[in-house]
Amino acid sequence: MNRPCLRAIGAATLSLLLLSACKPKQDGPDGPASAATAPSVLTVEVVSPTSQSWPQTVQANGALAAWQEVVVSPETGGLRIAELLVDVGARVKRGQLLARLADESLQNDLSKQQALVAQAQASLDQAVSNVQRAKQVESAGGLSAQAIEQYRITEATSRASLASAKADLAATQLKLRQSRITAPDDGLVSSRTGVLGNVVNAGTELFRLVRQSRVEWRAEVDARQLAVIKEGQRANVSLPTGQTVEGRVRLVGPVLSTNTGRALVYVGLPTDSVARVGMFADGVFELPVRPALTLPQSALVARDGRDYAYLVDANGKVRSVVVTVGRRQQQRVEVLAGVPANALVVASGGAFLSDGARVTVVAASAASAVSR
């Protein structure tokens, strides 16, 4: 074949190729070709909301304080502190000796009162003897009626003097006992203000005790929360140390503060816990159970102060919805609104999605294998 023929064939072939490239593509039976071949941006696992029975909770905070405080002070004054036997942090028992006051002057008073009692007893014995002798000679007329009456009056006076002396002796003995300062109840020594050698007055505080070592959480709640909290309900108190202590509501405050509009709820804590007076703690009151529609915490995406979830439709496309959340427990959260009960929700990875994106849905085991 000569060269002119070859050139003609080549030109014809090139024309056919150009015409084929310029011809528009035809849509397939399922729509535009670009839509049919849109790629998946993520492989996800989907979950549906689950109904569970959860306890209702009320969150609050407040300070830890002593159930009751006991002020230990002397009942007699004018004596010097001779000995302090316990320090702050000591656990004491009822009747345990905490401090001793100097009692030398009281010992002298005791000896004096004992002597006065003996003297009054002797005077009474003599007066009784005189009355008996007067009665023996009364019938014979040896004594006048006035003299006999005088003996009887002297006996009565002696008897009264003896009673007074015994009362003074008992008072001195009481003061002597009061020089021994003991614990009025079991407790924990929270402060010691007594100073060795000080001369104290009656009522001067020497020690302060946490009665029976009982510490309670005084939670502050508003009127709405106060209406649902009852005595005996359980409360979990989170301490600043990171530990959680379980307690029981001992008392619900009957009034609200006119300044803050809040009331106090008194929660008793175990005596062997690490709770200490003066701590400030958060806590949760557990109320009766109530059904809850829940999702895993990982299914929610926090954005712009809201919680979102991504729903998957039948074509594998996702759309975001705003979720109203309620209670939280472990790794799940209660859904109050925004997600239908039968919806398919992206279980995790929603932060990498956007509205309209196409995803590949796999079973839980397959998703785990893909992630590995």
What are the structural domains, with CATH classification, of the chain? Answer: 34-53+291-371 (2.40.420.20), 59-68+213-289 (2.40.30.170), 71-102+179-212 (2.40.50.100), 106-163 (1.10.287)
For the ranges 138-142, 171-175, 245-249, which has the lowest average pLDDT?
Answer: 138-142
What confidence tier does 29 reach under pLDDT thresholds 50, 70, 90? very low
Say which DSSP state 299 is in.
G
Check residues 207 and 32 and name the one with the higher pLDDT: 207
- 100 in helix, strand or coil? strand
Token code pair at residue 23: 């011809």
What confidence tier does 277 reach under pLDDT thresholds 50, 70, 90? very high
pTM: 0.62
Note the pLDDT tens digit of each residue in 177-212.
Answer: 999 999 999 999 999 999 999 999 999 999 999 999
What confidence tier does 4 reach under pLDDT thresholds 50, 70, 90? very low
Query: Alpha-carbon distance 73 to 99, whole Å?
Result: 10
- Tell me the DSSP string of 3-68: HHHHHHHHHHHHHHHHHHHHSPPPPBTTB-HHHHTPPP-EEEEEE--EEEEEEEEEEEEEEEEESS
Note the pLDDT tens digit of each residue in 335-358.
Answer: 888 788 888 888 887 778 777 888
Token code pair at residue 121: 């007893």
Non-local (6+) Cβ contacts of 4 within 8 A are: none
- Rounded alpha-carbon distances, angstroms, from residue 361 to 216, 352, 366: 52, 15, 9
216 pLDDT exceeds 70?
A: yes
